[in-house]
């Protein structure tokens, strides 16, 4: 019937064919219109649903010592993350996931359930690529991987206080890592890929932006000297059962810091049990009264006034000197002393009388010119500048105590810098924690070269002549100079403690052509003595002996041998 009706009414058939053709034409026209006039829009919509950009991680810049030895490097790791909503769909695989991650099953379940309403959670960060890939190969729904870098410190605790460390996202948190974070941080790149609706990778298309690694940083320290200083300082603390210690070595000519160590220290590669006390870079953060180690600068101030010469003498009497209600005492009676004798005997009485004769301002100006109470310019996080007091009216007590190292506070770095100025013929060269690849400027002349040379000769006598108090700092084959110091520690609430001391030694070597200045600070030695000449001076001697050899510094104190004549040695040689 239908077929016959179609034959009997051909116009109906033609109408149906017309509408079918019109619909097809309209669809084709619409498709052509969209492809021609809305191609970019449709492409963007399609890409938005399938095209993705995966970040390409950029590794952080390498930190090295002056010779290129690595101090901080970034190694590739794999971070695993999950979509808790997807994990909820297949709880039967949670136990398998826990075993693969080496986590207790109960802990993993608790974490998933606590984040059930979220789309993201970390499963494990910083896994080795091999471990992370084994987990991903299990194809557990909702588990994904992300390439990252982890910071590693080859020198470990030896350079920890100086280099510092980063957090898990490789952002600097302490030390050089923090101070130069922007310089070391790289710029991530982008890779274009196609993913399906579940987030699985379908095809890797192209690299849109290449990752830019962070810039390399070469520090001024010599890792060989760093290891040497670390070992000797640690041994001294163990021998004298001390609380803490610091050691700083500076290149006299360039101002580069060659070594900086502290104890206690920490391992930056494993910070699970890290304590704030162990993190302190005491050489730059802890301030202390330097005691007798500043007496050479008081002597330099006296020589600079023209009122005193190296041969000038001062009478120390019975070893006591009263100023108002204060009594200044010497450990040993010196009688009549010239300026060299003042340093050898470390006479508080003599240096006080000298300071009172020339007035406070020459001493203050001298200490200020060598960097006490001023910023070192190193821009190290948390560094302190100490205190150099300036009184509107200087009393006798304030003048005297300043001259023998009380009433002011310095850091170990500042004290080492001051001795570097003495060793550099009185020129103040700025300090640097970075390797100086270009010629260093001569620096500012702050002490007359003749006076600097005279004081260096006095410091040599302190170490090498009998009764100088610095004999334990001697270095075989080299002439060295230095000064010990022993300072009582300040008590909480004011005043000084009865039995807590800092043992100090500061010096320069070799005397004839100074190359290295060093300072050793031993905090609260409790066994075997506490005087700087006993506790800190031997550390100086051992460290300086090793440092001068490593730096290939020519010896200037080798014994002279008289050749012995051999009678007949050139006769009868033919038989």
Q: What is the pLDDT of residues 68-103, one digit of tens each?
A: 999 999 988 888 988 888 888 888 888 888 888 888
Write the burial class of residue 336 (CB in 10 Å: 0-12 exposed, 13-18 middle, 19+ buried).
exposed
Of 218, 238, 261, which residue is a domain's last?
218
pLDDT at 141: 85
Of 158, 193, 218, which residue is a domain's last?
218
Helices 396-403 + 348-358 axis angle, to 10: 120
Write the burial class of residue 533 (CB in 10 Å: 0-12 exposed, 13-18 middle, 19+ buried).
buried
**What residue ranges of the chain have pLDDT lower than 70?**
1-9, 33-34, 36-52, 54, 193, 195-206, 561-575
Give the total number of structural domains in the chain. 2
The first and second tokens of residue 275, run together, are 């304590």
Same domain, yes or no, for 191 and 234? no
Of 74, 220, 292, 352, which one is the catalytic site residue?
292
Let me know if residue 143 belongs to a domain.
yes
Let me know if residue 478 belongs to a domain.
yes
Question: Pick from 117, 123, 130: which is nearest to 85 by CA?
Answer: 117
Of 218, 235, 261, which residue is a domain's last?
218
* Helix ranges (DSSP H) in 67-138: 84-87, 94-101, 105-114, 129-136
Q: Which residues of 410-447 are buried (b: 16+ CB within 10 A; e: fewer)?
A: bbbbbbbbbbbbbbbbbbbbbbbbbbbeeeeeebeebb
Same domain, yes or no, for 211 and 336? no
CB atoms within 10 A of CB 546: 18
List residues bridging with 263 in a β-sheet: 245
Q: How many Cα neighbours within 13 Å face the side chain of 268?
A: 31
CATH number at residue 150: 3.90.1310.10
Task: Note whether 61 and 214 are within 8 A (CB).
Answer: yes
Distance CA 248, CA 348 (A): 26
The first and second tokens of residue 457, run together, are 């000769």
Q: What is the pLDDT of residues 504-534, one digit of tens each?
A: 999 999 999 999 999 999 999 999 999 999 9
Structural domain for 60, as ranges: 54-218
The model's pTM is 0.83
Beta strands 481-490; 496-509: pairing state? antiparallel
Same domain, yes or no, for 421 and 323? yes
Same domain, yes or no, for 478 and 353? yes
Task: Note whether 518 and 544 are within 8 A (CB).
Answer: yes
Let me know if residue 38 belongs to a domain.
no
pLDDT at 354: 97
Write the burial class of residue 255 (CB in 10 Å: 0-12 exposed, 13-18 middle, 19+ buried).
buried
User: Torsions phi, psi of 510, nearest 5?
Assistant: -75, 160
Same domain, yes or no, for 228 and 92? no
Question: Pick from 296, 223, 262: which is nearest to 71 by CA?
Answer: 223
Distance CA 143, CA 123 (A): 8
Is 292 an annotated catalytic residue?
yes
Same domain, yes or no, for 291 and 255? yes
Q: What is the 3-state secondary structure (H, E, C) of 44-84?
A: HHHHHHHEEEEEECCCCCCEECCCCCEEEEEEEEEEEEECH
pLDDT at 562: 52
């Amino acid at each position: 019937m239908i077929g016959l009706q179609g034959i009997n009414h051909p116009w109906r058939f033609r109408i149906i064919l017309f509408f079918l053709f019109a619909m097809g034409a309209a669809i084709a026209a619409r498709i052509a219109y969209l492809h021609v006039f809305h191609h970019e829009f449709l492409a963007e919509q399609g890409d938005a649903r399938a095209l993705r950009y995966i970040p390409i991680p950029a590794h952080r810049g390498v930190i090295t010592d002056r010779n290129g030895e690595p101090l901080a490097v970034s190694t590739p790791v794999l971070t695993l993350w999950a979509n808790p909503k997807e994990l909820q769909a297949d709880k039967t695989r949670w136990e398998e996931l826990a075993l693969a991650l080496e986590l207790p099953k109960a802990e993993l379940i608790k974490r998933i359930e606590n984040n059930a309403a979220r789309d993201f959670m970390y499963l494990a960060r910083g896994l080795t690529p091999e471990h992370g890939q084994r987990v991903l190969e299990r194809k557990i729904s909702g588990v994904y991987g992300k390439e990252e870098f982890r910071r590693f410190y080859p020198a470990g605790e030896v350079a920890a206080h100086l280099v510092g460390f980063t957090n898990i996202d490789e952002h600097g948190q302490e030390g050089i890592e923090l101070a130069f974070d922007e310089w070391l941080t790289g710029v991530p790149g982008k890779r274009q890929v196609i993913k399906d609706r579940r987030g699985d990778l379908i095809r890797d298309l192209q690299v849109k932006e290449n990752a830019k690694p962070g810039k390399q940083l070469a520090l001024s320290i010599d890792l060989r000297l760093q290891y040497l200083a670390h070992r000797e300082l640690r041994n001294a603390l163990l021998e004298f059962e001390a609380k803490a210690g610091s050691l700083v070595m500076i290149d006299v000519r360039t101002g580069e810091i060659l070594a900086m160590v502290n104890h206690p220290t920490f391992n930056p590669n494993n910070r699970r049990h890290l304590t704030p006390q162990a993190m302190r870079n005491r050489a730059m953060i802890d301030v202390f009264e330097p005691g007798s180690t500043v007496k050479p600068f008081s002597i330099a101030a006296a020589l600079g006034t023209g009122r005193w010469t190296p041969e000038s003498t001062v009478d120390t009497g019975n070893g006591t000197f009263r100023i108002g209600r204060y009594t200044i005492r010497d450990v040993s009676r010196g009688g009549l002393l010239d300026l060299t004798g003042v340093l050898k005997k470390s006479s508080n009485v003599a240096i006080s009388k000298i300071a009172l004769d020339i007035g406070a301002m020459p001493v203050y100006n001298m200490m200020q010119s060598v960097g006490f109470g001023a910023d070192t310019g190193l821009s190290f996080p948390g560094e302190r500048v100490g205190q150099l007091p300036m009184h509107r009216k200087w009393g006798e007590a304030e003048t005297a105590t300043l001259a023998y190292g009380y009433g002011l506070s310095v850091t170990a770095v500042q004290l080492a810098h001051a001795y570097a100025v003495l060793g550099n013929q009185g020129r103040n060269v700025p300090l640097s924690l970075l390797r100086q690849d270009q010629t260093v400027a001569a620096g500012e002349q702050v002490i007359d070269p003749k006076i600097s040379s005279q004081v260096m000769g006095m410091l040599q006598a302190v170490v090498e002549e009998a009764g100088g108090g610095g004999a334990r700092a001697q270095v075989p084959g080299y002439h060295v100079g230095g000064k010990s110091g022993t300072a009582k520690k300040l008590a909480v609430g004011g005043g000084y403690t009865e039995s807590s001391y800092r043992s100090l030694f500061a010096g320069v070597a070799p005397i004839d052509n100074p190359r290295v200045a060093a300072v050793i600070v031993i905090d609260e030695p409790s066994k075997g003595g506490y005087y700087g000449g006993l506790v800190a001076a031997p550390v100086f001697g051992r460290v300086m002996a090793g440092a001068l050899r490593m730096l290939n510094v020519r010896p200037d104190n080798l014994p002279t041998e008289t050749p012995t004549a051999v009678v007949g040695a050139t006769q009868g040689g033919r038989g």
